[in-house]
Structure 1
Amino acid sequence: MAVGTALFARRATLRRSIRLLGEFRFEQSDPARFYGSLAADTVGMVTALLGDDPTGRVLLDVGGGPGYFATAFDDAGFDYVGVEPDPSEMHAGPAGASGSGAFVRASGLALPFADDSVDVCLSSNVAEHVREPWRMGREMLRVTKPGGVVVLSYTVWLGPFGGHETGLAHYLGGGRAAERYARRHGRRPKNDYGSSLFAVSAADGLEWARSTGLLVAAFPRYHPRWAWWMTRVPLLREFLVSNLVLVLRPS
């Protein structure tokens, strides 16, 4: 196990998993609480995976959203740069959530940055929202310096959270789940299957990451360390991993 992965593994306790699971119920009702907690945990994960002092390291957050992550990474010492294609998302957070980070309106499929220009490239829960997630992954690798870290974390479609706000209805099919949501709520879901939500499997991500020759770790983001073995079991991982983290080191 790589040094950075081993450092994070010590943080991946059952207590942490229970705490994070408890915060998920506030995603819709109190997004500041939910995303603030998720941001703090993500900083801990990325810092451990980096395996070095984060001070002054340039971190590019692909799909950075409204800025909750910016504040947390800025406080940890990173030089934060967020990329977000949706202007409504960029301004969705409370005033001051963006900290002192820089923000760029752009697509993760064509990052407006030079090759080998950042130390860490992060994408948290974005891959399932783009039509070509591994094209985004290739862009993340392109802009990351040799010896840097790419952390791509996404929600697995067949896991319990694959349908996002449509709940477990996605097991009936993504289109059906979206239609059911629209009938019940009088509006389409924000994460609408086929336009802003897509079925991305754990197998797809692992196949792409392994094909690069740069994969150093793959594990379930919210599980305790003793449950990471699920990632290695085909089919089972599609239902139980829930959120897969791919860690790659460009060389």
Structure 2
Amino acid sequence: MKDPSFRRSLTLFRAFLREQDDPHTAYELLARDAVDQVERLTRLDGRVVVDVGGGRGYFTREFRRRGAHGYLFEPDADELAAEPGAGTVVADGYLLPLADGAADVCFSSNVLEHVRDPGTFLSEMVRVTRPGGLIYVSFTNWLSPWGGHEWAPWHYLGAERARARYERRTGRAAKHRLGDNLFAIGVGPTLRGVRSRDDVEILSARSRYWPVLPQLVARVPGLREFATWNLLLILRRCP
């Protein structure tokens, strides 16, 4: 996969600085970028793509624009768009209402850090992917500068302290609470868990946004927990 450029990384970073004020622009841009990454590895026209935890459906719509049959599975009905449209299912990522091998591509962007049991979540993504199909998973690891989400980078001083600071500063309740809907997921444990599986092949394990040696950064223990920012895994389902 082609390494990301400084221009791309800077464009995405600027969009995310405005994410809370202009989420549409940020997620439209991220969806185009993510689908570009998938399309470099497989054609999408006519393929079945399952978007797990895709919220308002930005990724699903982008996959459909590229000719795929996109389906959105979201556990929280409040996260869906006002008019979700056909192909949207309220369903838990731990138990997807799909047959084994139903998807050509199973996709999940920035969901794993919100999952209490990431191993089971990944197993379900693998189950619904056909042999030879792709699994795309990215997540923001806890020790990255963005790990605390809206209350980052103050999470380094403690989650509850960071959360309280955010609420004092903004005057509104924080969306995330550690141990409830945000979890301290690390790069190292996630990679070890994936490498221990015999049902997937790792095609890419890299920083999703970092433009300098993104694969090398993800290999260095300690450093990767900070410098990766967001780990991208692209896996192929083994026969």
| Distance 1:35-1:172 versus aligned 2 partners, 3 A rule | same
Letter in 2 for 1:54: L
Question: What's the secondary structure of 1:111's corresponding residue?
Answer: coil
Q: Does 1:73 find its partner at 2:63? A: yes
Q: Does 1:29 find its partner at 2:21? A: yes
Partner of residue 234, structure 1? 221
Question: What's the secondary structure of 2:78's corresponding residue?
Answer: helix
Equivalent pair of 1:80/1:101 in contact (CA under 8 Å):
no
Q: Does 1:40 find its partner at 2:32? A: yes
CA displacement at 1:42 relative to structure 2: 0.9
Identity %: 44
Q: 1:61 aligns with which of 51, 56, 62?
A: 51
2: CA distance, partners of 1:32 / 1:217: 28
Letter in 2 for 1:78: A
1: CA distance, partners of 2:42 / 2:205: 20
Q: Does 1:162 find its partner at 2:138? A: no
Equivalent pair of 2:44/2:63 in contact (CA under 8 Å):
no
Partner of residue 19, structure 1? 11
Partner of residue 123, structure 1? 108
Partner of residue 210, structure 2? 223
Q: Does 1:108 find its partner at 2:100? A: no
Q: Which has the higher helix share?
A: 1
2: CA distance, partners of 1:28 / 1:205: 28
2: CA distance, partners of 1:216 / 1:41: 18
CA displacement at 1:162 relative to structure 2: 0.2
CA displacement at 1:91 relative to structure 2: 2.5
Relative to the length of structure 1, the TM-score reads: 0.89
Deviates most, 232-241 or 192-201: 192-201
Deviates most, 69-78 or 156-165: 69-78
Deviates most, 178-187 or 195-204: 178-187
Question: What's the secondary structure of 1:232's corresponding residue?
Answer: coil
Equivalent pair of 2:136/2:233 in contact (CA under 8 Å):
yes
Q: Which runs of 5+ in 2 are unaligned?
A: none
CA RMSD of superposed structures (Å): 1.6
| Distance 1:185-1:224 versus aligned 2 partners, 3 A rule | closer
CA displacement at 1:21 relative to structure 2: 1.2
Partner of residue 246, structure 1? 233
1: CA distance, partners of 2:187 / 2:223: 10
CA displacement at 1:179 relative to structure 2: 2.7
Partner of residue 188, structure 1? 173
1: CA distance, partners of 2:152 / 2:42: 38
Aligned length: 236
1: CA distance, partners of 2:23 / 2:189: 30
Partner of residue 3, structure 1? none
Deviations 1:110-158 (A, max 9, x none): 1111111100001100000111112100000000000000011000100
Letter in 2 for 1:161: W
Relative to the length of structure 2, the TM-score reads: 0.93
CA displacement at 1:225 relative to structure 2: 5.5
CA displacement at 1:217 relative to structure 2: 1.9
CA displacement at 1:224 relative to structure 2: 2.0
Question: What's the secondary structure of 1:141's corresponding residue?
Answer: helix
Deviations 1:60-102 (A, max 9, x none): 011010121222111111110111011110126xx6xx5x661
